[in-house]
Structure 1
């Protein structure tokens, strides 16, 4: 037993003293050192990539905040422009104040002349034509609206007349926006709104029973009910869910088509995001939206920018490497048979 141990020890000492074995041991040590260095470099590279991802996410968040800031500034600028426009219109209205005073005075004199006539008296014109009694004129408004005088400095809203063939809701919305600038009481709103009627709409207004409209709410409700058949049907959230990205359709085209429809729909932003993701074809952008769901369509557009650029570059690269098509222009002249002289 002792002899066996001594023999093994002697062999190990001989192996250590052997140059070939020393070279092998040295090589093993070098390989171990290389492995250790590679592991450290891999860890450093992983840390660096983690930092880059973190910085990219911070930059994307910063860009998102900047976009919200720009939208807020644009809204403020639009409000300032509307205020300046209202101010300019008010100045023009003040310039016409004298003319309006003359008109109101003439209107007062006309009313006094009408009320001074007997109830059953018929006015006769210069050519003997019969005129309508004030009592015979249609009066759809109640007496409190009739008695309300339009202020002399009131700025009459500029709006396209409604003839009875357009969308009543769009006409009502346009009138309300103009009245936000002009102001005025409920009775003034009734009179100004009736002044926008022409054609069929004016005939309908004159046929409303006398003293049956006590407020602008009632007038607008009757107006919408009468011309509801002309309402333009806007898309709904169900129509938005049916939008799909076509086979081979670019992300830019699909995003533009989707946003063109969603802007006409009034709904929650999360429903827009879900419908957009549902209609996407399987792609790296689709996977990124599944991993990290965006908060709004603005966030979707920001994140889609880099993918759209990548798609455009790939398309240009494929087009550049695509072999040119050889067109064979075969004409009658080329097929003509030449005969020898």
Structure 2
């Protein structure tokens, strides 16, 4: 019995010694891990300082978010704060910097007459018609400089003054000819558009220029025999002639070259 008790006591002591040994091993392992982490941190700091000795921020470090810089605008604050209604559609005209500025302004005004809009809305929609070099010019204007559409139009005209077409003169009417394959009605419409463009009221010259440009044929002979005095009379007699004779003869008898494409 005493021998058994001695064996049990020895076993308990051995188990206690084994537990103490396990605790020491666990402490040694934790200390080793702590040393490894410290060495790793020191090594990282050393490597970072070696790669970037100036002390600047590493490229792999996250940069703080910086919102994009807002572009300056030549519009005043009042124009910028104007909201364009959703019902408005942008004008279907564009200006690259190579076209006639007056022609562009005319086309823009024509389209804006259909939709209306305030002065500020016109400014914003006009900006949307600019592209290429014209947009580069626009954004180069001083910030907050433009306060009205009249001012914007004037700046636009001055910038592209060299692009303006030369003014039409009365004698440009003599350049309008009836071309091969062009009917009398088409020629009258083309000639009438040029009359409006030159803005002349000299009826004898208008009639004479028309006679010089029309192709030989029954209508030409009729205005030679009984000469009209005004362009309005030419139009009336042309309508009567077309109603009675048709226009097939124009395509058959006109020998002038074809009209160039616009």
TM-score per shorter chain, which class? 0.5 to 0.7
Q: Match of 1:21?
A: none
Q: 1:139 aligns with which of 70, 73, 80?
A: 73
Aligned partner of 1:260 among 181, 186, 190: 190
CA deviation map 1:255-287 (0-9, x unaligned): 744642441442357363343246567834312
Counterparts of 1:139 and 1:145, CA distance in 2: 10
Distance 1:284 1:145 in 2: 61
Paired positions, count: 183
Change (3 A) 1:265 1:289: closer
How far did residue 185 of structure 1 move? 0.6
Structure-2 residue corresponding to 1:173:
106
1:299 aligns with 2:229: no
* Cα offsets for 1:5-34 (capped at 9, x unmatched): xxxxxxxxxxxxxxxxxxxxxxxxxxxxxx
- Going from structure 1 to structure 2, the CA distance change for 1:209 and 1:301 (only over 3 Å counts) comes to same
Q: Which runs of 5+ in 1 are unaligned?
A: 1-125, 317-341
CA distance in 2, matches of 1:179, 1:310: 39
Deviation of 1:207 after TM superposition, in Å, equals 0.9
Q: Distance in 2 between matches of 1:254 and 1:235?
A: 24
RMSD: 4.1
Structure 2 equivalent of residue 115 of structure 1: none
Map residues 103-122 of structure 1 onto 2, 5 A cutoff: none
**Using a 3 Å threshold, how does the CA distance of structure 1 residues 308 and 200 change in structure 2: closer, same or farther?**
same
Equivalent pair of 1:154/1:182 in contact (CA under 8 Å): no
Q: 2:26: which partner in 1?
A: none
Report the equivalent of 2:88.
155
Structure number with the bigger relative contact order (C-alpha 8 A, sep ≥ 6) is 2
The 5 Å alignment of 1:247-286 reads: 256-257=186-187, 259-266=189-196, 267=199, 270=203, 272-277=206-211, 283-286=221-224
TM-score when scaled to structure 1?
A: 0.42
Gap regions ≥5 residues in structure 2: 1-61, 254-262
Answer whether contact 2:191 2:210 (CA < 8 A) is retained.
no
Matching residue of 2:146: 213
Cross-structure match for 2:126: 193
How far apart are 1:140 and its partner, in Å? 1.4
Work out whether residues 146 and 152 of structure 2, in 8 Å CA contact, stay in contact via their aligned partners in 1. Answer: yes
1:153/1:177 Cα in 2 relative to 1: closer, same or farther (>3 Å)? same
Give the structure with the higher percent helix.
1
| Alignment partner, residue 229 of structure 1 | 162
Deviations 1:52-95, CA, capped at 9 Å, x for gaps: xxxxxxxxxxxxxxxxxxxxxxxxxxxxxxxxxxxxxxxxxxxx
Match of residue 97, structure 2, among 139, 164, 184: 164
TM-score normalised by L of structure 2: 0.52
Larger Rg: 2
